[in-house]
Structure 1
Amino acid sequence: MQYKIEIRPLAAMEIIEAYDWYQEQKSGLGAEFLAELDQFYDTLYRNPQTYSYYDKPVRQGKVNRFPYTVAYEIFDTTIVIYSVFMYRQNPDKKRIK
């Protein structure tokens, strides 16, 4: 089955904020973060059920190398990304739906 990924605006803001922060720490590190996020998306394209439920029906998976989780939900052929969240933060700040 072919899936498409839809990134909600709040998740897009979280991605931009993370990218900017990593770029400030070291040039090129923001691009490495985005590359790891792309690898996460590749896993979702192949099998979105790979990751466990965070709060049914929302699932959550960890990004390699970086302390981030991605909260998402599967709708037919669309995977909706709600949050790209640094898991070292207060979990009450996580935005889902």
Structure 2
Amino acid sequence: MGFSLKINSSAQLDLKSAINWYESKQFGLGKRFFNDFENTLIRIQSNPYIFRLENNYRNALLDIFPYLVIFDIDDQEIIILAIFNTHQNPTKKP
């Protein structure tokens, strides 16, 4: 059985904020960010346990953009907790 995926409300806000920021910099860049995010979700769903465990949560880097997807695994459900810009101060990391 595969893993289901849930994106919590805080992570949804992170995602919208990042998409809007990139789109404001260049038309179409927000879409490219979202595609990179979706590809990362596919990798996470296919094998969530390969990603590094840090402070009880797992981290997956996007391929192109400087962001981490921070997630937890509860039984067969992957819960996306945050989408973190790696250029931010690391103390802000959830």
TM-score (structure 1 length as normaliser)? 0.92
AA partner of residue 9 (structure 2) = P
Q: Deviations over 1:15-64 (max 9, x none)?
A: 000000000011000000000011001011110112111212x1111001
1:49 matched to 2:46? The reply is no
Q: Deviations over 1:68-89 (max 9, x none)?
A: 0011011111000111000110
AA partner of residue 92 (structure 1) = T
When the two structures are aligned, how many residues end up with a matched partner?
94
Identity %: 29
Unaligned segments of structure 2, at least 5 residues: none
Query: What RMSD in Å do the two structures reach over aligned CA positions?
Result: 0.9
What does residue 89 of structure 1 align with? 88
User: C-alpha separation between the residues in 2 aligned to 1:55 and 1:71?
Assistant: 11
What does residue 30 of structure 1 align with? 30
Contact 1:54 1:71 in 2 (8 A): no
Moved more, 7-16 or 85-94: 85-94
Contact 2:44 2:60 in 1 (8 A): no
What does residue 66 of structure 1 align with? 65
TM-score (structure 2 length as normaliser)? 0.95
User: C-alpha separation between the residues in 1 aligned to 2:69 and 2:44?
Assistant: 11
User: C-alpha separation between the residues in 2 aligned to 1:5 and 1:94?
Assistant: 21
